[in-house]
Amino acid sequence: MVSISKLSNPCPASSLSSTFNLQSSQQPKLLDRLPHHQQLHLQSFIFQALRTEQALPQSLLDSEMCSRPVTDLLPLIESGLEIFQKAISTSNAYNDQFRGTVQSGKDIESAYWELVVKDIQDACKLFEPIYDQTDAADGYVSVEVSPRLADDTEGTVEAAKWLHKVVSRPNVYIKIPATAPCIPSIKEVIANGISVNVTLIFSLTRYEAVIDAYLDGLEASGLNDLSRVTSVASFFVSRVDTLIDKLLEKIGTPEALDLRGKAAVAQAALAYQLYQKKFSGPRWEALVKKGAKKQRLLWASTSVKNPAYLILYMLLLS
């Protein structure tokens, strides 16, 4: 099972509506009163809320929908351990496959990875037309290395190589967490010509290290054509407010309390400025001449965590 993710560039409103078959009566009346560019941002934000609940089950990947053109969907599908856990434990779609792997003598972890690889391969096939038509810009499917390797630099590199080899699809992203030990892993994996989705980025300092790892990896790859080595940086937004709001409440002054709920969007704005700065200038231009693509910025965790805030709170602040 995989869930669809949204990159930072807005998608056409017509595409979003047709993808989810939303009727006009179901969409907020506020939409009609906004300028067109704000409508796009609003629909993008609504999609982020939907994405936390919506996923592509195995039954969908096996259905007739796979034979339909998938050229107007969003640019990235993500998978995760929690998504797979929920899918396997609450659905009958995996029973036969799981039973077969266990009966063949495989241990639980090996059986799990066999199920995961099959799902990822099916999803990659489904989205490969997007990958081909956009010249490897969109249409990726993301699969993460084991979280047990978050503090293991070399183990993460080997796991990424293994996943890339067994999935064996051009449009697969290997998801690696932005822990300090995994920053060198990101560079090494990119240098091996493997595309990476870097996840769990919470600070500007770590985000800059992630960008540098991508650039260092491209330069170390020795490839003359970098157009097929791409990356996404998943920058987590709302969880920052969860931390900062508590600190502001401890301070307790009116000025401090007035800043609650604003740190996350402020940091995201600074992250975008950093993105613009790092992907410009002589160093970047030298990589562009070899076909390099910018590491795309993905806003993750955009749903508000504080129930006191409106679901569209971040949109209204931005």
Exposure of 313 by Cβ count < 10 A (0-12 exposed, 13-18 middle, 19+ buried)? buried
C-alpha to C-alpha distance for 253 and 112, rounded to whole angstroms: 51
DSSP3 helix / strand / coil % (the chain, rounded to 5): 55, 10, 30
Handedness of CA 82, 88, 93, 98 (dihedral sign): positive
Q: What are phi and psi of 200, to 5 degrees?
A: 60, 50
Nearest Cα to Cα of residue 179 among 160, 161, 202, 211: 202
Handedness of CA 7, 13, 18, 22 (dihedral sign): positive
Which residues, including other chains, have CB under 8 Å from residue 259's CB and lie 6 or more apart?
244, 248
Nearest Cα to Cα of residue 260 among 214, 197, 317: 317
| 175 noted as active-site residue | yes
* Catalytic option among 29, 118, 125, 175: 175
C-alpha to C-alpha distance for 266 and 256, rounded to whole angstroms: 15
SS3 category, 225 = coil
- Kindly list the catalytic residues: 175
